[in-house]
Amino acid sequence: MGCVRRRGIKWNAQVRIAGWGSFTKTFEKKSDAPDWRRETENAIRSVPLNTSRLSPSLKFKDLLEKYRDTVIQKYKGRQSETYRLNRFANL
């Protein structure tokens, strides 16, 4: 969703859509802000939803293994966390 608001003597348009973050632009005229907001929302929504960088064959078990082998090794309680992850992934 987007919004237009006055910031001092200028107009600020902001678009926030889940998964995309926030886009903001400032305008001198109020009439330019809603146009930009509408165009930006339409451009974001026109992008295909299947833009995931993950492989479709990637399994949750593979992600747990990668997390266990890279991130958990830095923790003090890595033994118990490794045990829990292994049980959760049924390894």
DSSP states along 51-77? --SS-TT--HHHHHHHHHHHTGGGSTT
What was the pLDDT predicted at 1? Answer: 76
What was the pLDDT predicted at 20? Answer: 80
Task: Give the span between the Cα atoms of 14 and 4, in whole angstroms.
Answer: 6
What was the pLDDT predicted at 62? Answer: 86
What was the pLDDT predicted at 19? Answer: 76
Residue 72 lies in a domain: yes
Encode pLDDT of 38-51 as tens digits. Answer: 999 999 888 876 65
- pTM attached to this predicted model: 0.53
Structural domain range at position 83:
60-89
Do 8 and 40 share a structural domain?
yes
Residue 66 lies in a domain: yes
What was the pLDDT predicted at 23? Answer: 92
Domain count, the chain: 2
Residue 69 lies in a domain: yes
In this structure, the dihedral spanned by the alpha carbons of residues 21, 58, 62 and 84, taken in order and rounded to 10 degrees, is: 60
Residue 55 lies in a domain: no
Residue 26's CB: how many other CB atoms inside 10 A? 14
* pLDDT less than 70: residues of the chain: 49-56, 91
What was the pLDDT predicted at 13? Answer: 95
